[in-house]
Amino acid sequence: MVDVEGLGDGRWPALVRDGHHLQRAAPTGREGLDEVTRNDLRRGLRRLAVDAHVPGIAGLFRLGASLEHARGPEPQIDAGGVHRANLSTDHGQGTLAAVNRTITGVPGVLAGHWTHGSGTTGCTVLVFPRGATAGGCVPGSAPGSRELGVLDPTHVAGEVHAFCLSGGSAFGLATADGVMAHLAAAGIGFDAMGHVVPIVPTAVLFDLAVGRARPDARAGRSAAEGASGEPLPEGRVGAGAGATVAKATGTPLPGGLGSSLRQCLGFRLGAIAAVNAFGSVRDPDSGAWLAGGPPGEPALGGDWRGNTSLVAVATDAPLSRPQATIVARMSQAGLARCLYPAFAAVDGDTVFVASTGKTGAVDALALTRIGHEAALAVAEAIVRAF
């Protein structure tokens, strides 16, 4: 079970299959038809992914469109008033469209959230029970992080066992202690002279302006304990609970966390994005502003500080460590597709990439396509956060 305390947002209508089309089911919350209509106009219905196996450069960019949107399972509220997602460890190996369109649809990836009862902060953990090859990049100028050194292709550790994304600014780095404690107890980690040492790269965003709460080791452990292969809940939850965006307009607005899943060359590729950007957010397909608008001129000393968008990408494509780093570099293009401005001097953006594939290899052409799809997946995850 994932503890998702104070999940906050209203309920999102699910998407249901009707022949070859997808339509929104009637919502069960208070939003009614207006919420459905607004979301459909804002995002548009996505086409199903098309995996074009075409040789040569011409085939490289004959890429499938993004998958249809679908929210995670409705939270259940127990007798104590705590929101709990009804999660299991079954990935569901059916079609992407019928089962799971979030990052947990990638084999070998589990995920869970912890959200503070105030709804102002939280953390999100990706767990790789069998380990994962990893890479990363830091396009932001003001990041907060831990264990980034293990993402260097020359680092002796070789694999990572989880990623942790957290609110709480630098205080949130303590969440990794709880994640490590849970994984070590489960025997998941790097064998160091008879000790199990989980490798958990962690990145944080600044949400202290919206509340006093800070995620700690207990929060990280709770998220790791609840990690599963079920669809990951999205919105103002986990690391995105206290996120804000559009400070560039002078009027900060709520951010959030989104996830996506795509197919590429027979592999699965997923992304999550906790969107806490200085810039406004725009849907790259429709051009609609999801939060904010054209950047203004906020006064110095205002609410322009404390911005960071955190991204994690996972795939079962068998990437080497240098290749995972290349995919991380290419993935940051997803931020540029949606954020206006992107990579500001007051942003601390960080991108993690994990490969759970254990056999085979990809060549430079396939790697380029995977990197491009990763950027599209990141952009879709950002859109789904709103």
Question: Would you say 140 and 308 are in contact if contact means Cβ atoms under 8 Å apart?
Answer: yes
Cα separation, 282 vs 286, whole angstroms: 8
**Nearest-angstrom CA–CA distance, 308 and 300:** 18
Q: Which residue in 86, 72, 84 sits closest to 270, CA to CA? A: 72
Q: Which residue has the higher pLDDT, 90 or 126?
A: 126
Q: How are beta strands 21-24 and 310-315 bridged, if at all?
A: unpaired
> Which of the two residues, 346 and 253, has the higher pLDDT score?
253
Q: How would you write the chain as a 3-class SS string?
A: CEEECCCCCCCCCCEEEECCEEEECCCCCCCHHHHHHHHHHHHCCCCCCCCCCCCHHHHHCCCCCCCCCCCCCCCEECCCCCEEECCCCCCCCCCHHHHCCCHHHCCCCEEEEEECCCCCCEEEEEEEEEEEEEEEECCCCCCEEECHHHHCCCCCCCCEEEEEEECCHHHHHHHHHHHHHHHHHCCCCEEECCEEECCCCEEECCCCCCCCCCCCHHHHHHHHHCCECCCCCCECCHHHCCCEECHHHCCCEECEEEEEEEEECCEEEEEEEEECCCCEEECCCCCCEEECCCCCCCCCCCCCCCECCEEEEEECCCCCHHHHHHHHHHHCHHHHHHEECCCCCCECCEEEEEECCCCCCCCHHHHHHHHHHHHHHHHHHHHHCC
- Portion of the chain with pLDDT greater than 70, in percent: 72
Window from 7-16, 84-93, 147-156, 191-200 with minimum mean pLDDT: 7-16
- Chain segment 78-98, per-residue pLDDT in tens: 332 233 333 333 344 445 545
**Cα–Cα dist 164/298, whole Å:** 32
Q: What is the pLDDT of residue 57?
A: 30
For 323-352, write each residue's pLDDT tens digit: 999 999 999 999 999 999 999 888 889 999
> 343 vs 302, which has greater pLDDT?
343
Query: Rounded mean pLDDT of 131-149?
Result: 92
User: Is residue 302 pLDDT above 80, yes or no?
Assistant: no
In this structure, which amino acid lies at residue 67? L
Q: Which two tokens stand for residue 368?
A: 């380029």
Q: What residue spans define the domains of the chain? A: 2-384
Other beta carbons within 10 Å of 260: 29
CA 18-20-24 angle, to 5 degrees, is: 40
- pLDDT at residue 295, as a whole number: 75
Query: How far lies 135's CA from each of 221, 330, 382, in Å?
Result: 24, 12, 20
pLDDT digits (tens, 9 = 90+) for 3-60: 333 333 332 223 222 232 223 333 333 333 343 333 333 343 332 232 333 233 333 3
pTM exceeds cut of 0.85: no
What is the radius of gyration, based on Cα positions, of the chain?
A: 19
Provide the CA 58 distance to its chain's centre, in angstroms.
Answer: 30
CATH 3.60.70.12 is right for the domain spanning 2-384: yes
- What are residue 111's DSSP bridge partners? 126, 228
Query: What is the pLDDT, as a whole number, of residue 316?
Result: 97
Residues comprising the chain, all counted: 386
* 210-245 tens-digit pLDDT: 999 999 999 999 999 999 999 999 999 999 999 999
What pLDDT, on a 0 to 100 scale, did the predictor assign at position 304?
A: 67
